[in-house]
Every structure is written in C-alpha cells, then in structure tokens.
Chains A and B, each alone.
Chain A
Amino acid sequence: MKPLSIVVRTCCDMFAWFMVVFGSYVIIHGDVTPGGGFQGGAIVATFMALLLVAYGGEKVLSWVKFSFYNGLLIVGLLLFLLFGFSGMANSFFYNFLAVPEAVALAGGAHGIIPPSGTIALMDIAVGIEVTGGLTLILLYMFKGTRMFNLIEMGGETGHDSR
C-alpha cells in the first residue's frame, strides 16, 4: 500500500504524540477538570487512528504489538474491579479513600493519593482500559479489512491512488 503524502505524514507524526500527552492530561486530571477516563482514553486511542490513516497497513501492523494493548485492556479492567472490591468492608464501590474538603484544605490529605480518593484512581484505571479497548478495535478492524482485500481483490488500494 502507498502511504499518504509527506505533508500528511509529518503532521500526523507531530500531532499523534501531542494527542498522547493531552489524553494523559485529561485522564490524570479527571477529578478536577472536565473529562475523565472514557474521554481521555478515546483521545489517546486517536494516536493509532492518525498513524493508521497516514502510514497504511503494512508499516503500522508490523510495528505495533497487539499483546501490549491486550494487556492494557485486561489490566485496566482488573484494576477497576480491584478498586471496587477494596471498599468491601463498608459496601461495594464505597469510596474509602475520600477526604472531606475541610480536612483536605487543612492539610489532612494523605500523600500522593488525591483527596478525592478512589474517584481519581478509577479514572486512571478506566482510562487505561478504554485506551487498550478502542485501539484494539481499530487495529483488528484494519487487519480484518486487509485480510478480506488480500483474499478477494488481490492487493490493497490507497485512497490517493485513484
């Protein structure tokens, strides 16, 4: 397959990494600014969409590791369930790490964990899961269309070729 022109490839190279940084910002600051796990994960998954559209199938599919994104999906889901079950002493999904605002403003928050407790931690877990899941959907769909193309029509066609 022919990749797209050099202008598109250079722009996608730059913007893809900015997308990763911005998505990580949205995920980590999910409890203080608009956004959250799902939105940030979708923004991070745009990285692979940009690379796939710009570079075509052969190069990206030989470069990417499917097991990495598979691991992200499983680890995110299990981490989310772990945070849910760890409040089990009171009830399922109980926010056992939360500190009220007056205590947190007086300096009573605990160290590196944000004062909103499991809200921020579950944000990060769901962000990891959504990143892995949406990227896996994109990659498997691209792989499936390539498979169909190679069987039925004999070779791929880039959308700038005609």
Chain B
Amino acid sequence: MRKTIFIIAALVFGGLMLGALDSIHPFGEPGNVPMDEYFLHHALEDRSSENVVTSIVFDYRGFDTIGEAAVLFTAVCSVLALFREGAKK
C-alpha cells in the first residue's frame, strides 16, 4: 500500500517537473532583462569596479547586505546562547 502511494506520487511529481522543464529558458541564454545591461555597462564606468558582482552586492543592493550581516550575527548569537558555559552543575 505504501509502496503504491510512493510510486504514484513519484510519477506525478516527476511528470510535473518534466513538464516544467519544457518552459524554462534554453541553457546559456537568459531572457532579455534591461537591468542586466544597465549593471554590466554602468558598474565599470561610474564606480570603476571591475567585479560587477561585488559592485551589485555592496553598492546597488547594499541594503540587502545589511540583512546578510545581521543573519550571520544572529547565527553567532544563537550558537553562543546554545553552547554557553552554564551547563556544568
């Protein structure tokens, strides 16, 4: 019984995923997005930064990086709260 349910679920989800693969972009050709063109052309001219990824992370989308830094800080705080020295006796 469980094996039958498992096989039916695997077939259904596999079929849905194969169907979804049909409608994505072809490999190596992303869609026509004007924002990509803006970033690629203005990162070197305006900011003189050769690495466009770093220029996006720290300049154009700098506000998101605060969230990333806060996530790391929260992870360190939670690990410290879990493993702090307080458990001995």
Contact = CB atoms under 8 A, between A and B. Distances in A.
Interface of A: 30-38, 73, 77, 80-81, 84, 92-93, 95, 98-102, 104, 115-120, 122-123, 126, 129-130, 133-134, 136-137, 140-141, 143-144, 147, 151
A80 B46 contact: no
A144 B73 contact: no
B86 to A, nearest CB: 10
Nearest to B54: A36
B17 interface: no
A126 B47 contact: no
Contact of B79 (A32, A119, A140): A140
A10 B55 CA distance: 39
B55 to A, nearest CB: 6
Nearest to A117: B47
A42 B59 CA distance: 21
Interface of B: 44-51, 53-55, 57-59, 62-63, 65-66, 68-69, 72-73, 75-76, 79-80, 82-83, 85, 87-88
Main SS at interface, chain A: helix
Contacts of A80: 65-66, 69
Nearest to A33: B51
Contacts, number: 107
Given A73-B73, A137-B75, A119 B59 contact: yes
A116 B49 contact: yes
B46 A133 contact: no
B54 A30 contact: yes
11 contacts: A31-B49, A33-B51, A77-B73, A92-B63, A98-B46, A99-B48, A118-B59, A122-B65, A126-B65, A143-B85, A147-B83
A89 B87 CA distance: 49
Main SS at interface, chain B: helix
Contacts of A115: 48
A101 B73 CA distance: 35
Contacts of A37: 58
B88 A147 contact: yes
Contacts of A147: 83, 85, 87-88
Nearest to A109: B48
A31 B57 CA distance: 11
